[in-house]
Amino acid sequence: MPRLLHLGLGNFHRAHQAWYTARANAFDGPMWHITGIAMRNAALRDAMEAQCGRYALGIRGPEGLRVDEIAVHDRVLVASEDARAVLDAIAGPDMRIITVTVTEKGYHLGDGGLDLDAPEIAADLTSDVPQTAIGLLARGLARRFKAGAGPVTVISCDNISGNGGKLAAAVTEFARSAGEQIDPATTFPDTMIDRITPATSSEIRAEIAAVTGQPDAAPVMTEAFSEWVIEDRFAGPRPDWHRVGVEITPDVAPFEKRKLRMLNAAHSWLAYAGQLAGHGYVHEAMADGELRAGVEALWDEAARTLPDALAPTLPAYRAALIQRFEVAEMRHELAQIGMDGSLKLRERLVPILTGLEGDAPQTIRAIAAWVVFLSQTVAEGRDIADPKAEALVQAVRDNPGSPVRALAPHIGLGDAQQGWTRAIARAVADYPTNS
Ligand code: CS2
Q: How far is CA 313 from CA 194, 254, 319, in A?
A: 16, 11, 10
Report the pLDDT averaged over residues 191-196.
98
Report the pLDDT averaged over residues 33-38.
98
CA distance 411 to 308: 27
Q: How far is CA 31 from CA 14, 48, 74, in A?
A: 17, 20, 12
344 CB within 6 A, ligand 1: yes
CA distance 290 to 103: 30
**Contacts made by residues 423-426, CB under 8 angstroms, sequence distance 24+:** 423/358, 423/364, 424/364, 424/367, 424/368, 424/371
Confidence at residue 81, expressed as pLDDT on a 0 to 100 scale? 98
Confidence at residue 433, expressed as pLDDT on a 0 to 100 scale? 78
195 CB within 6 A, ligand 1: yes
159 CB within 6 A, ligand 1: yes
Cβ atoms of residues 259 and 192 within 8 Å: yes
Confidence at residue 355, expressed as pLDDT on a 0 to 100 scale? 97
11 CB within 6 A, ligand 1: no
What sign does the dihedral 382-195-190-69 (CA atoms) show? positive
194 CB within 6 A, ligand 1: yes
CA distance 224 to 64: 10
Laid out side by side, the sheet with 64-70 consists of: 64-70, 55-61, 220-223
pLDDT above 90 covers a percentage of the chain that reads 96
Q: Is 371 helix (H, G, I), strand (E, B) or coil?
A: helix
Domain boundaries, the chain: 3-249, 253-434
Q: Each residue of 160-183: pLDDT tens digit?
A: 999 999 999 999 999 999 999 999
Which ligand 1 atom sits closest to the C-alpha of 12? 7
Which ligand 1 atom sits closest to the C-alpha of 194? 13
CA–chain centroid gap for 62, Å, is: 25
55-61 and 64-70 beta bridge pairing: antiparallel
Cβ atoms of residues 375 and 402 within 8 Å: no
Confidence at residue 55, expressed as pLDDT on a 0 to 100 scale? 98
Confidence at residue 62, expressed as pLDDT on a 0 to 100 scale? 81
324 CB within 6 A, ligand 1: no
Q: Each residue of 85-132: pLDDT tens digit?
A: 999 999 999 999 999 999 999 999 988 899 999 999 999 999 999 999
Q: Which of 19, 286, 337, 340 to mutate for ligand 1's pocket (most ligand atoms within 8 Å of CB)?
A: 337
Cβ atoms of residues 59 and 283 within 8 Å: no
Q: Which of 196, 221, 259, 325 to mutate for ligand 1's pocket (most ligand atoms within 8 Å of CB)?
A: 196
Confidence at residue 419, expressed as pLDDT on a 0 to 100 scale? 95
Protein residue closest via CA to atom 3 of ligand 1:
337
Which stretches of 79-165 are assigned E, i.e. beta strand?
A: 95-100, 109-110, 113-114, 153-156
Cβ atoms of residues 173 and 110 within 8 Å: no
Protein residue closest via CA to atom 10 of ligand 1:
196
Distance 105 CA to ligand 1 centre (A): 14
Angle (deg, nearest 10), helices 361-379 and 265-276: 50
CATH homologous superfamily for the domain 253-434: N-(1-d-carboxylethyl)-l-norvaline Dehydrogenase; domain 2 (1.10.1040.10)
| pLDDT > 60? residue 435 | no
Q: Each residue of 396-421: pLDDT tens digit?
A: 999 988 999 999 999 999 888 999 99
State which H helix or E strand residue 195 sits in: none
Confidence at residue 102, expressed as pLDDT on a 0 to 100 scale? 98
Give yes or no on whether 3-249 and 253-434 have one common fold. no
Q: Each residue of 297-323: pLDDT tens digit?
A: 999 999 999 999 999 999 999 999 999
Protein residue closest via CA to atom 5 of ligand 1:
337
48 CB within 6 A, ligand 1: no
CA distance 359 to 256: 22
State which H helix or E strand residue 4 sits in: strand 3-7
Which distant-in-sequence residues (6+ apart) come within 8 Å of 255 by Cβ? Answer: 192, 227, 229, 249
Q: Each residue of 321-375: pLDDT tens digit?
A: 999 999 999 999 999 999 999 999 999 999 999 999 999 999 999 999 999 999 9
DSSP 311: G
Q: For domain 3-249, which CATH number applies: 3.40.50.980, 3.40.50.150, 3.60.110.10, 3.40.50.720?
A: 3.40.50.720
Q: Per-residue confidence at 434, pLDDT binned at 50, 70, 90?
A: low
The rounded mean pLDDT for the chain is 97
Cβ atoms of residues 236 and 83 within 8 Å: no
